[in-house]
C-alpha cells in the first residue's frame, strides 16, 4: 500500500485510474469495511487500483463539534488495518479549519478531480466542503466519475457508526463493540518501565505507553488477549488511575500477562479487550488488593480459555474472523 499525504496548498496528482472509498473511518467498523471492500472488489473487477481517501485529524475535533476523547483507531492503527485489507493507495488528507472553509466545488477541484477517480464509493451520510454542503447528490452532479452510495447499516435499530462504538466502549460493553467492529477492540503500544508496584504485589505487569491517542474504555479490569511477537497470551488488564497505590492523574494501561515472565521492556504489544470484569476501586489495604487481583486473574483465565475454545471450534468450520 502506498501512502500519499496531502495538505492544503500541495499539488495532488495520481496518473493511474483508481476506485476510491472516502470517509473518516474512525474505528473501521463493519459499515466502514463494507464500503471499503466494495471499492476493493470493484477495483479487482475492473483491473484498476483501489484507494481510501481519509482525513486526519478528525474533523469533529478540529471544528470543535465534540471533545477530543481520542480515536477508536488512531492513525497508525488505521494505516496498518487498511494495509491488511489490501488497499493499493491510502490518500491521507490533513484536515484543518482552512480546508473546512473550501466550498464543495473547491474541494472537488483541489482534491477529487486531481485523483483520476473512476468510481467513488461513499456512505449515505458523507458530507464535504463548507458547512457540509457537499454530499452524494453534489458528487453525482459533477458527472466526472461514477458514484456508489452505501446505505445505512443498522445495529439493534441504531445506525452502525463510530459514535455507537464510543458509547459501548464508555460503558465497557465489549460484546457490542466486537459485534460492530467485527473484531475485538485493540490497543497497541510499547512496554515501558513502571513503578514496580505490580512486582512488589507478586503480579508483574506490563505498563503500556499510550503514545497514540486512543479512545479510552470504561475504567476498570478486563480480560484480554495479548500478542507479543505474533504469539498470543491470556491476560488481565487494568485501565485507571491506580487509586490504592501510587495514584496517577492520567489513566494508564497495565497488563498482567498470565503464565509469562519474559522481559519485554521496549517491545510493542497488542492488547485485545475481550470482556469487562469489574470497575476500578480503592482498597483499604494491600492484602485486599492482592486477593482481588488473584480473583481477577482466575476469572480472566477461566473465561478466556472458554472463549478461545469456542473460537477454535468455530475456526474449524468457517475460519477465524476474530481479527478480520
What pLDDT, in 10s, does the model give residues 23-43? 999 999 999 999 999 999 999
Per the confidence metrics, is the pTM higher than 0.85? yes
- Parallel/antiparallel/unpaired status of strands 18-22 and 117-123: parallel
- The ranges assigned to domains in the chain are 2-152, 162-315
Name the DSSP class of 95.
Answer: P
N-to-C CA span, the chain? 18
The predicted-structure confidence for 198-240, as pLDDT tens digits, reads as follows 566 667 888 998 766 888 899 999 999 999 999 999 999 999 8
In CATH terms, is domain 162-315 a member of 2.40.30.30? yes
CB 171 within 8 A of CB 164: no
Same fold, 2-152 and 162-315: no
What's the residue count for the chain? 324
Nearest partner of 307 among 239, 222, 229, judged by Cα: 222
In CATH terms, is domain 2-152 a member of 3.40.1210.10? no
Amino acid at each position: 500500500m502506498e501512502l500519499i499525504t496531502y495538505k492544503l496548498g500541495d499539488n495532488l496528482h495520481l496518473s493511474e485510474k483508481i476506485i476510491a472509498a472516502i470517509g473518516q473511518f474512525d474505528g473501521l467498523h463493519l459499515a466502514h469495511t463494507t464500503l471499503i471492500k466494495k471499492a476493493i472488489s470493484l477495483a479487482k473487477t475492473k483491473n484498476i487500483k483501489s484507494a481510501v481517501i481519509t482525513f486526519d485529524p478528525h474533523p469533529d475535533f478540529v471544528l470543535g463539534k465534540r471533545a477530543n476523547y481520542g480515536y477508536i483507531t488512531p492513525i497508525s492503527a488505521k494505516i496498518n488495518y487498511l494495509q491488511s485489507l489490501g488497499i493499493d493507495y491510502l490518500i491521507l488528507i490533513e484536515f484543518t479549519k482552512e480546508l473546512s472553509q473550501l466550498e464543495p466545488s473547491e474541494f472537488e477541484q483541489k482534491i477529487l478531480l486531481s485523483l483520476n477517480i473512476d468510481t467513488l464509493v461513499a456512505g449515505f451520510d458523507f458530507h464535504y466542503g463548507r458547512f457540509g454542503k457537499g454530499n452524494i447528490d453534489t458528487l453525482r452532479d459533477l458527472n466526472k466519475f461514477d458514484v456508489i452510495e452505501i446505505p445505512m447499516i443498522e445495529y439493534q435499530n441504531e445506525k452502525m457508526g463510530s459514535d455507537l462504538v464510543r458509547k459501548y466502549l464508555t460503558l465497557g460493553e465489549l460484546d457490542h463493540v466486537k459485534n460492530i467492529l467485527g473484531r475485538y477492540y485493540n490497543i497497541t503500544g510499547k512496554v515501558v518501565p513502571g513503578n514496580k508496584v505490580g512486582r512488589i504485589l507478586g503480579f508483574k505487569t506490563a505498563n503500556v505507553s499510550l503514545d497514540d491517542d486512543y479512545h479510552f474504555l470504561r475504567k476498570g479490569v478486563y480480560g484480554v488477549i495479548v500478542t507479543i511477537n505474533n504469539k498470543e497470551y491470556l491476560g488481565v488488564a487494568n485501565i485507571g488511575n491506580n487509586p490504592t497505590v501510587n495514584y496517577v492523574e492520567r489513566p494508564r494501561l497495565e497488563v498482567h500477562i498470565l503464565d509469562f515472565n519474559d522481559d519485554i521492556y521496549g517491545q510493542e504489544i497488542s492488547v485485545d479487550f475481550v470482556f469487562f470484569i469489574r470497575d476500578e476501586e480503592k482498597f483499604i489495604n494491600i492484602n485486599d488488593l492482592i486477593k482481588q487481583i488473584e480473583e481477577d486473574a482466575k476469572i480472566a483465565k477461566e473465561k478466556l480459555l472458554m472463549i478461545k475454545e469456542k473460537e477454535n471450534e468455530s475456526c474449524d468450520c468457517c475460519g477465524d474472523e476474530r481479527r478480520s
